[in-house]
Structure 1
Amino acid sequence: MPSADHELPIALLNDQPALAPELLQAVSGIKPPEYEHIGLGSDTFTDTGPTEYRADTVVILGEPKRPDLAIVVENQLRPDPRKRFVWPVYLSTLRARRECPVTLLVLCPDRATSAWCRAPIETGHEGWALRPWVLNLAEAPAVTDVEKARALPELAILSTPANADGPHRKAVLTAFAEALEVTDRDRGGKYHDYVRSKLSVAARHCLEEIMQAEVYEWQSDFALRYIAEGEAKGEARGEIKGEAKAILRCLEVRGVAVDEESRQRIINCTDSEQIDAWLTRAVVAHTLDEVFD
């Protein structure tokens, strides 16, 4: 079964085809032709074998019957020698079918796979080699502009995991939250779960702070649910802190000395069951060992 790491980037492109020329320009420096129409093309290339060749997705720029450019997009998680024979088939078949220029954009999760995908594919005909355009998603350009995030939310979502621990963390995560604000409920929840699974603990905490900040008036179902969950977590943390203080007060009244290391152990504990157990023991304990053991 395809993994979320493979399916989510392709889902972003299927939901927003304009993401493809944006990414293509980012990695190639080539500005795509101006277009009034953009949409998805068939991702299936079948010969008379019949062997079915299926790309991850195809984006068509321009009039469907007379397109200006067709972009084959592949999300390649690891090297696969077979693709060096299949990718030229995608381009030649699509070029013959659409009678327009075609190009290949490959998304990769890491530097090693990106290097493998960038290697020219020699077809055997002199001077005819396919050189894929490759974007390492771990190095995707950061989206920090809120207006851009709202205009092309899929770009902000795709780039967030790579930049959430960078120097512009707060701006990146704010743009991510704004992107979700203009995304419908089903896709927003799916995109949020995918990105959050890739965030570090520090980045998750930063996102929580952004969502809880009163300077933003979030409106989406996703944001309101997130805020409610954050408030519930905050209340739970507050209860734990209160019990930790009760443990220390109880030990003080009973004349049990508490060293600084033990004090920090109690204050910093986030396990409610553990705190409850310590509090029960502290009521009758004569030593710290009786509390912790």
Structure 2
Amino acid sequence: MVSSQHEAMHHLFRQDPGVFARTIRDLGLPFPDPIDVALLPTDLTEIDPLERRVDTLLRIETAEGAFLLLVEAQGHEDKKKPSSWAYYLAHLHAKYRLHPVLLVVCQDTSTATWARGPLAIGPPQWTSLIVHPLVFGPDNVPVVTNLDAAVKDIPLATLSAITHAADDSVIGDIMNTLATALHSIDNPDDRVIFTELTALGLGKGPAGQTWRQLMAVDTSFFRSEYWQEVRAEGRVEGRVEGRAEGRAEALLQLLALRGIAVSDEMRARIASCADRDQLADWFERALRADSIDDLFA
């Protein structure tokens, strides 16, 4: 079954294929900048009834010639994958007569290390094939916490959030930076796209829950489907116009999700606050706080 993380990864690369070029440039890899990018069919099934489908397939034109980019999201080590990846690469090379590059995107370092391989196919006495994917993971995708950098490259900031979702030491800062950077997008529809791509990629874990709460208190994202879902599930009370009580409830929800103990006195202080700017400041602190004292420091 295709997970939401898979969906987010390939939609992100379809939304802005240039994120590949910018990321490999940061990594110092020897790929030329794309001149043109075309989305190709992802169905690789032949006469054999076994369905074979990649997440995303792009044809990238450069000054040095064209190549194919296959994008796969991988959540865990899977012994069946090397043979599937070898099939994809061989089939596409034969079909398009272009050299293919397999890009695997991971959210944890152990999976990324395994995926890099090289992955050998053949008996111990003789290796017949070697699959050597290019891997983006938390160990090489940059941690985007600089606001100027995030504003200049929203897709890369989104990829940073998705790949570092499991790293509690940085994900709060990444999400807060990305949430602020999204205000720089003039088109509200584009803001919603990257908001929801981030939510999909983060999944239903603690980072995903925090992202939804962060978006729920931002009035410019109330038209998002994720806001509607959060509101329908009763996670945030109050009017969508951003009334203070709605923000206070969102803050309390965030503190609960982060496991920060809140006394009855502190809960009453938050719930009775009518200053939306103060609540916004507390919410930002709550993303990094280790205790309730950090919130009011």
- TM-score category of the 2 structures, normalised to the smaller one: 0.5 to 0.7
User: 98-107 or 162-171: which moved more?
Assistant: 162-171
In the other structure, the counterpart of 1:18 is 18
For 2:208 and 2:43, how far apart are their aligned partners in 1? 41
CA contact (8 A) 2:107 2:137 kept: yes
Residue 97 of structure 1, aligned match among 95, 109, 112: 95
Q: What is the CA-CA distance between 1:128 and the residue it aligns to?
A: 4.3
State the identity as a percent: 21
Q: Secondary structure of 2:44's partner? A: strand
User: Structure 1 residue 24: deviation in Å?
Assistant: 4.3
Instruction: Report if the CA contact (8 A) 1:156-1:176 is conserved.
Output: no
Change (3 A) 1:145 1:38: farther
> 2: CA distance between counterparts of 1:30 and 1:56?
23
User: 1:32 corresponds to which letter in structure 2?
Assistant: F
TM, length-normalised to structure 2: 0.62
Distance 2:172 2:270 in 1: 31
**Is the partner of 2:12 in helix, strand or coil?**
helix
Alignment match, 1:290? none
Is the 1:55–1:72 Cα contact (8 Å) retained in structure 2? yes
Change (3 A) 1:9 1:229: farther
Tell me how many residue pairs correspond in the alignment: 237
Q: Secondary structure at the match of 1:46?
A: coil
Report the Cα distance in structure 1 between the residues aligned to 2:14 and 2:156, rounded to whole angstroms.
12
SS at match of 1:72: strand
Q: Report the 3-state secondary structure (helix = DSSP H, G, I; strand = E; otherwise coil) of the residue aligned with 1:100.
A: coil
Q: 1:121 Cα deviation (Å)?
A: 2.3
- CA offset at residue 187 of structure 1? 1.5
Q: Over aligned residue pairs, what C-alpha RMSD do you find?
A: 4.3
Residue 10 of structure 1 aligns with an amino acid whose one-letter code is H
Question: Is the 1:120–1:132 Cα contact (8 Å) retained in structure 2?
Answer: yes
The alpha-carbon deviation at position 77 of structure 1 amounts to: 1.2
- In the alignment, what sits opposite 1:82? 80
- 3-state SS of 2:70 partner: strand
CA 55–32 in structure 1, closer or farther in 2 if over 3 Å, else same: same
Q: Does 1:177 align with 2:176?
A: no
Map of 2:244 onto structure 1: 231
Alpha-carbon deviations, 1:34-62, whole Å to 9, x = none? 33211322222233324432111112211
The one-letter amino acid of 2:60's match is L
Aligned letter for 2:13?
L
| Structure 1 position 72, deviation (Å) | 1.0
Hey, what does 2:53 align to over in structure 1?
A: 54
1:31: how far off?
Answer: 3.0
Separation of aligned partners in 2, 1:47 and 1:167: 44
After the TM superposition, which residues 239-250 of structure 1 pair with which residues of structure 2 at under 5 Å, given as runs?
A: none
More contact order relative to length (CA 8 Å, sep ≥ 6): 2
Say which SS state the counterpart of residue 35 (structure 2) adopts: coil
Q: What is residue 109 of structure 2 aligned with on the other side?
A: 111
- Aligned counterpart, 1:44: 43
Could you tell me how far apart the structure 2 residues matched to 1:206 and 1:235 are? 11
Offset at 1:88? 1.0
2:197 to 158, 166, 191: 191
Moved more, 17-26 or 70-79: 17-26
Offset of residue 85 of structure 1: 0.7
Take 1:140 and 1:40, find their aligned partners in 2: how far apart are those partners? 23
Structure 2 CA distance, aligned partners of 1:167 and 1:186? 23
2:137 maps to what in 1? 136
Structure 1 residue matching 2:8: 3-state secondary structure:
helix
Could you tell me how far 1:96 is from its partner in structure 2? 2.1
- The 3 A distance-change label for structure 1 pair 150 and 181 is same
The corresponding residue for 2:118 is 120
Give secondary structure in 2 for the equivalent of 1:78. coil
Residue by residue, what CA displacement relative to the aligned partner does 1:216-275 show, whole Å, maximum 9, x if unpaired?
xx967669x89943733346699xxxxxxxxxxxxxxxxxxxxxxxxx9441245999xx
1:67-126: CA deviation from partner (whole Å, max 9, x where unpaired): 522111110112222211110111112122222222111112222322322222224475
What is the one-letter code of the residue matched to 2:143? Answer: A
* Letter matched to residue 140 of structure 1: V
Question: CA separation in 2, counterparts of 1:270 and 1:205?
Answer: 23
Q: Which moved more, 1:199-208 or 1:170-179?
A: 199-208
